[in-house]
Amino acid sequence: MTTTTGTGSDADRRGAGQTPLLSIRDLEVTFRTEQGTATAVRGASFDVLAGETVAIVGESGSGKSTTAMAVIGLLAENGRVSGGQILFEGQDVAALGGAGLARMRGTRIGMVPQDPMSNLNPVMRVGAQIVEALEDNGVARGAEARRRTVELLEEAGLPDAARRAEQYPHEFSGGMRQRALIAMGLSCRPRLLIADEPTSALDVTVQRVILDRLEQLTSDLGTAVLLITHDLGLAAERASRVVVMYRGEVVETGPATQLLTDPQHEYTKRLLAAAPSLASRRIQIAKQTGATDAVATDLLAVSADEPAAIAEADHIVEVDDVTKVFHLRGQGLFARRTEFTAVDHVSFVIPRGSTVAIVGESGSGKSTVARMMLDLLEPTSGTIRFNGEVVGGHGDREAEVRFRRQVQPIFQDPYASLDPLYTIYRTIEEPLRAHGTGSAADRRARVLELMDDVALSPDLLRRYPGELSGGQRQRVAIARALALNPDLVVCDEAVSALDVIVQSQILHLLADLQHRLGLSYLFISHDLAVVRQIADQVCVMESGRIVEQGTVDDVFDDPQQEYTQRLLDAIPGRSLALSLGA
């Protein structure tokens, strides 16, 4: 049964003469699988009015993206609308057929998908892809389509749009690619725009710019927006109404602020409880036992303008005045190479058994620091020491193998970081096999132990990554990283692609493993609310430099730099999150 929060249910709004642009009635979506028919959406009903922004929130597998794909007629081949109605401008979408759906897409319903890199053709210029959309939908052709493409990119906020239109997707940043997709989604001036997690992989300041631009464009055009998101702060800030989905059902709907400040359904309350906020504190699993009290007293790193005079604490990592300069080729045939300083005289330490986070916008240099820490890049100058030994450049095969065992990564994308052709068992066993650890029986016992550590059923060991959810895949990635009993784990945006409930589970898992195994973490993130929960110490990076660092409480409660304050202010729904966490 759906709970309606506040006043003005969808039925009330229809009764008041507000005709919905999109009306979903008792929708059921099923998929054919080897095990039989699976129902992904059941009995879902809600309305979207013209010019309104409605957010659908819920964890992975809740049915929110499936509902959106059903609206636009882009379900997978084994999926179908098996019940209910989708009425767009009074017309039943399911009755349109293939040709009718194709005409509706683009001209009447636009789409901004989640991952811009996989949704842009890597071998076509960005402008050519927008021209193709304009021509396929009969909006413009030839020179007129090319002129319109430049206008659309300018509207989406891309500087030097004419030149950018001639570039390829890999030459764009994540934010620029997302702007291009917004331009494409709005190119035919649709009545409804479906935005499926349009900014989940972007840092908070770029996210705000993108969402401001999207809001301005849709407002100017009178376009309604169906926003699919797992970010409750984003839903509160950007949507007028929120639809909460759980296991394929709509469990609560209502005005955004009312629903998120006074939820009625238990699942909505659980979503809010799991969402990280700046009012949160460090996950206290280890600290409840007093196990990390000694570490907690020595969390400050060396300041950015002092030498790395690391004194009495037991530091597992010492980064001393590290700089990384990249040499870039010029555009022309005879153009000179140019230099780009990605990391500029950075110094910090990681006390053993603690978590140090590096935050900053895209391009700030934080991931470059992580790659140098993993010995995947060599510093141009300065030194990185791990357990007192200089990282890289030692030329000692035995030392390199030892380093690879002791330092392990967890990457951002659980879909891309696991080999799709390896079973889960082989994925976790691979590091053990590569390092010649134990017999086959020993390795199997270790794999089973790791599955238990990350709370996964042994039944999953025969499955492949494609058969697991995002949260399960990230747990597998964590198990693989822990296989060799490392001392340091480098988490590069390890939870940014996960919904709030799975994200909360992974953060608590990381904190629990740190307590039980004595792990140290270098945590790279653009999500400051997540950093507040997981880190002891934070370094804020801007344009390759550390501009502020200290304990998480000091930096978040009393930021000294305008840049840090700007990062904090850009967090979606920050004021609501603070009030909820107080």
Domain segments of the chain: what residues? 3-108+191-274, 118-189, 287-328+336-387+487-581, 415-486
**C-alpha count within 13 angstroms, C-beta hemisphere, residue 311:** 6
Helix (H) or strand (E) holding 383: strand 381-386
Confidence at residue 6, expressed as pLDDT on a 0 to 100 scale: 60
Q: What is the pLDDT of residue 285?
A: 56
Q: What is the pTM of this model?
A: 0.73
Q: Examine domains 3-108+191-274 and 287-328+336-387+487-581 and report if their fold is the same.
A: yes
- The pLDDT of residue 313: 53
Contact 325, 553 (CB under 8 A): no
Q: Hey, is 152 helix, strand or coil?
A: helix
Note the pLDDT of residue 471. 73
The token duo for 109 is 């319903």
Output the CA–CA distances (angstroms, integers) from residue 556 to 80, 168, 531, in the order listed.
48, 38, 10
Predicted local confidence at residue 292, as pLDDT: 39
In the chain, the amino acid numbered 514 is: Q
Beta strand spans in 149-232 (E) = 192-196, 224-229
Which ranges of the chain have pLDDT less than 70?
Answer: 1-2, 4-17, 115-117, 200-202, 276-281, 284-313, 328-337, 393-395, 497, 572-582
- For residue 62, the model assigns a pLDDT of 85
Tell me: the pLDDT tens digits for 149-193?
Answer: 999 998 887 878 898 899 988 888 777 888 888 888 888 888 999
- What is the per-residue pLDDT for 306? 36
Q: Say if residues 49 and 20 touch (Cβ distance below 8 Å).
A: yes
User: Please, what CATH class does the domain formed by 287-328+336-387+487-581 belong to?
Assistant: alpha beta
Q: What is the reported pLDDT for 8?
A: 58
* Parallel, antiparallel or unpaired: strands 3-4 and 249-255: parallel
CA–CA gap between residue 62 and residue 43 (Å, rounded): 13
pLDDT in tens, 3-46: 766 655 666 555 555 789 999 999 999 998 777 888 999 999 99
Percent of the chain whose pLDDT exceeds 90: 33
Average pLDDT, the chain: 82
Is-contact 71 22, C-beta < 8 A? Answer: yes
Write down the CATH number for the domain with range 3-108+191-274: 3.40.50.300
State how far the alpha carbon of 356 is from the alpha carbons of 309, 318, 384, 385, in Å. 18, 12, 15, 15
pLDDT at 570: 75
Task: Report residue 326 as tokens.
Answer: 């990249």
Measured CA to CA, the distance from residue 294 to residue 519 in angstroms comes to: 15
Contacts of 146 by beta carbon, 8 Å cutoff, 6+ apart:
127, 131, 165
